[in-house]
Amino acid sequence: MDLGLSGKRALVFGASRGLGFAIAAELAAEGCRVAVVSRDLNRITRAAAELSAIGIAADLQLAGEARRATQAAIAALGGLEILVCNSGGPPKATFAQVDSAGWQSGFQNLWLSTTDAIVEALPSMQAVGFGRILLVTSVAAKEPMAGLTVSNGLRAGLLGLVKSIAPEVASKGITINALLPGFTRTERMTELGVTDEQIALQVPAGRMGEPHEFAAMAAFLASARAGYITGQAVAVDGGWLRGL
């Protein structure tokens, strides 16, 4: 299937590893011109070289960094049609373990960085009458997980943001959707101590997902073929979510 992505300009946050890198690689393979962002300069330099992409170092936990990175990508690419908002998850903690600073840090990293990037990207998309915005969240946005209180709360809120923005930009050829990864084989799973054996018992598919499977869905939603899909929360989870 030709997704018609050749020549499209894409910015992917959190792209030095894991799902972000997989999405950037998939878009590059489809012919997109890609800019990738991470706070680790060495990692994003290596990732950019591997993908023949533009590398931008930015720490989403700092105010204004998402705006700066988006502006830099637009300047380097000459515009932007695809924006993938993705960031690392907050530390594992129960509600009782999270202080005010923890909530503020999570809000900056997950929420404000997302809205700032969207604000900067929209004019470029509107100028060409085409835009695809993808927010990488988590299945925890629909079914909260124990010990991930900050992530649960903020990622669920992002689904409301998607639903709010979608009708405002739909007539301009711009879609916005959330992608909800389930248990996927990334460094994040290792950090959380999740094992293959645990997943085999929890997920109907009987295994962890692979990053390239998630990235394939992202590439489809970023394409012209998905132009009538907007405001949705799409789970890529091997059937883990039980809700409708």
User: Is residue 73 a part of any domain in this protein?
Assistant: yes
| 1 part of a folded domain | no
CATH of the domain at 64: 3.40.50.720
What local confidence, expressed as pLDDT, does residue 102 receive?
94
Q: Which two tokens stand for residue 148?
A: 């991930």
Enclosing domain of residue 218: 9-236
Closest by Cα among 85, 45, 51 to 66: 85
Residue 223: band (very low, low, confident or very high) from pLDDT cuts 50, 70, 90: very high
Q: How far apart are CA 45 and CA 53, in angstroms?
A: 9
Domain membership of residue 244 (yes or no) is: no
CA 141 to chain centre: 13
CB 240 within 8 A of CB 138: no
The total of structural domains in the chain comes to: 1
In a domain, 28, yes or no: yes
pLDDT tens-digit profile of 113-123? 999 999 999 99
State the pLDDT at residue 222.
Answer: 99
Neighbours of 143 (CB within 10 A): 17
pLDDT in tens, 21-56: 999 999 999 999 999 999 999 999 999 999 999 999
Domain membership of residue 175 (yes or no) is yes
Taking the C-alpha atoms of residue 198 and residue 185, their distance in angstroms, rounded to an integer, is 13
Helix (H) or strand (E) holding 48: helix 41-51
pLDDT tens-digit readout, 78-110: 999 999 999 988 888 999 999 999 999 999 999
**In a 3-state reduction of DSSP, which class is residue 39?**
coil
Q: Does residue 158 form part of some domain?
A: yes
Query: According to the model, what pLDDT value does residue 85 have?
Result: 99
Q: Residue 17: pLDDT band by 50, 70, 90 thresholds? A: very high
Those residues with Cβ within 8 angstroms of residue 90's Cβ, 6 or more apart along the chain or in another chain = 102, 105, 106, 109, 110, 148, 150, 151, 154
In a domain, 2, yes or no: no
Rounded distance between C-alpha atoms, residue 55 and residue 45, angstroms:
6
Average pLDDT over residues 188-204: 81
- Write the DSSP symbol of residue 238: T
**232-239 mean pLDDT:** 97
Outline where 52-138 has alpha helix (H).
65-77, 100-106, 113-128
Least confident of 9-18, 71-80, 89-98: 89-98
Give 136-194 pLDDT, tens digit per residue.
999 999 999 899 999 999 999 999 999 999 999 999 999 999 999 999 988 877 776 77
pLDDT band at 232 (very low <50, low <70, confident <90, very high): very high
Position 186 scores a pLDDT of 84
Report yes or no on 241 lying in a domain: no
Alpha helices in 136-205 (DSSP H): 149-169, 187-191, 196-202
The residue-averaged pLDDT of 11-15 equals 98
| More confident: 126 or 200 | 126
Q: Is 171 exposed, middle or buried (0-12, 13-18, 19+ CB in 10 A)?
A: exposed
